Amino acid sequence: MNILHLSVSNLKKVSAIRIDPTTGKPIILTGDNANGKSSVLDAIFLALKNEGLDDPIRHGRMSGSVQLTLGAEKMEYTLERKLTKKGSYLTLTDVDGKPVQKAQTFLNGIIGNYAFDPLEFTKLKPKEQVEALRTAAGLDFTDIDAERAVAYNERTSITRAGKELAAQLAGIPEPAADVPETEVSASFLIEALEGLKDKVRSKSTFRDQVDNLKEQVRIKRERIQVLQFDLKAAINAEQELIVSMDARTAAFDAIIEPTQEDLKIAADAVNQIDVTNAAVRSARQHREASARLKDLRIQVAKHNRVIELVDERKAEAIKNANLPLDGLEMTDDGIMFDGTFFKQLSTAEQIRVSTLVAMSQNPALKIIIIREGALMNKENLRLMVDLATERGYQLWIEKFQEEASDIGFHIIDGAIAFEDGEAVEPIKETTEDETPNTEKVGF
């Protein structure tokens, strides 16, 4: 379905314009800035969707209107959108003049992204082009992308924790094979050491006592020799001392005095306990960190698999998508055509791909609007025209051009002044301001 007729009155910069495309050639709108060529394209958008313009009525006028005739084989519709200060009013009739019920809903059903501009597509960033192509193919990856994002974020968090744990593990020395799993109690070894020291002290005490008693015996014996008169008492004292001496001697002999080697071993054991327990703690940390790192690696592997499955589903959806061109594919980094990224294609190839994408978004209402036609050279314009002719699309092209040329409609001060280089009489401006009895839509 193409536009068979367009009339615009008192809309933005347009005073009164009428265009009746009768051939398959592009409708080229030329003119200087602020003379109305953009307003003509805006009028098409406004007529179909009632969107795209704020304060659309031409300055100083009370109302404006847009009329479109849309047609294809055995099908024709006449559309009028009346604009007043109170609101927007839509009338839509079929080929027999019968009103179409729920006119805006009907229009929404036949139009796609009819304002899609192939030149604008070439200017999009790679990821924006992918999104536009997904829309054209009817692909919605919202749920899949959300699922992937959850797995990706969780994997990132786990990977970060794994790296921190791996760095921590690298700082813990590998434990020796003979390091015990539990720390050794210092109290037992200290008690043993103190016991040995007590024996040393006891031995020394008894030695001193024995030596002292021996000295006393010597003195008493000397006194016995000189104290004959107290012999009996001295003898008794001697016997008592001998008994005491024998007891102390027996106690002395019963104590096995530790060697210096025994003392050294006990002291070393006490000194070694901190080293041993430090090794035990280090070994425990190493085992725990190793086990945790192993668990994190398992979790990362699981999330990697989730991401792989999501990517496979996404790739399968893209593979089975009804893309507008063989050899066209979507990646996370941008669109590719025949294995080459879009930005690396020649200008002609970019124009061709963009035009086919635009056409795929407008399957019923076959019109494509190009707002910067002045940027296209003749070769690329001819390529776009050939594609449009081949597929039955109608091109509406806006070109900045101060002087009229032999092609297109040249607009001056809101009206067509030249058509294909020939001067034409401007259409008389409509002054009717009444509010029509039609469906009110509202801005």
The domain total for the chain is 2
Give CA angle at 142 (137, 145), nearest 5°.
105
DSSP string, 110-148: H--STT--HHHHHHS-HHHHHHHHHHHHT---HHHHHHH
Say yes or no: 107 and 203 in one domain: no
pLDDT digits (tens, 9 = 90+) for 250-296: 888 888 888 888 888 888 887 888 888 888 888 899 988 899 999 99
> Where in the sequence is the domain holding 417, given as residue range(s)?
2-116+362-440
CA 217 to chain centre: 101
Q: Where is the domain boundary, 257, 285, 313?
A: 285
Q: Is residue 346 part of a domain?
A: no
Give the C-alpha separation, 101 to 338, whole Å.
46
Q: Where is the domain boundary, 285, 309, 342?
A: 285
Say yes or no: 6 and 112 in one domain: yes
Least confident of 68-82, 195-209, 281-295: 195-209
Q: Is residue 65 part of a domain?
A: yes
Say yes or no: 93 and 190 in one domain: no
Q: Is residue 168 part of a domain?
A: no
Q: Is residue 131 part of a domain?
A: no
Q: Is residue 321 part of a domain?
A: no
CATH number of the domain that residue 95 is part of: 3.40.50.300
Q: Is residue 313 part of a domain?
A: no
pLDDT digits (tens, 9 = 90+) for 118-148: 888 888 899 888 887 877 677 777 888 888 8
pLDDT digits (tens, 9 = 90+) for 158-200: 999 989 888 888 888 888 888 888 877 778 778 888 888 888 8
Q: Where is the domain boundary, 269, 285, 301?
A: 285
